[in-house]
Each structure stands twice: as structure tokens, then as C-alpha cells.
Amino acid sequence: MESGALERTVSENVAGGANVGTLSTDNASTDLFTYTLVMGTGNDNNSLFTVNGNLLNTVGPLHLGTYSVRVQTTNQNGQG
């Protein structure tokens, strides 16, 4: 399972439930991947976001700023 920090700048007054990013995995195979917010370096703002499929969405309204989350990607076999 591979994980990494993702840093994203959010526009001012983004509403709760808004999509602020699309997650993807660099992989030559045709595997299907799932994404999960996980603990570790860069998870400072995980509680402010949710993952729905491959979309990173806000939980509630956010103000202009840079937010950091840590995301893990896993293929259908449980490998990253």
C-alpha cells in the first residue's frame, strides 16, 4: 500500500461537500484503486476532507488556504 501527502490550495469560501481534487495512481496496469485518508506525515487536515471514490471532497466550508492530507492508494488485491 502506497501513501503520500497531497497539498492543495483551496479557493475562498469553498462549500461543504465540494470537490477539491481528483485522485489518481500512476500505474501501467488496469488495476482498480481505492483511496483512503490515513495517519502519517502530511495528515494535518485529514479531518476536513472525505474521499468518495477518487474524489477529494470537503467536509464543511473552508476558507482560502493551503491544506495538507495524507492519502493511501490500494489496488483490488490490497497492494499499493
Whether the per-residue pLDDT at 50 is higher than 90: the answer is yes
Domain boundaries, the chain: 2-75
- Return d(Cα 80, Cα 75) in angstroms, integer: 6
Residue 36 half-sphere exposure toward CB, CA atoms < 13 A: 12
Check residue 53 and give its pLDDT: 93
pLDDT at 1: 46
pTM of the model: 0.82
pLDDT averaged over the chain?
Answer: 84
Mean pLDDT of 26-48: 87
Class of residue 75 by CB neighbours under 10 A (exposed 0-12, middle 13-18, buried 19+): middle
User: In the predicted model, is pLDDT for residue 3 greater than 70?
Assistant: no
Confidence of residue 77 (pLDDT cuts 50, 70, 90): confident
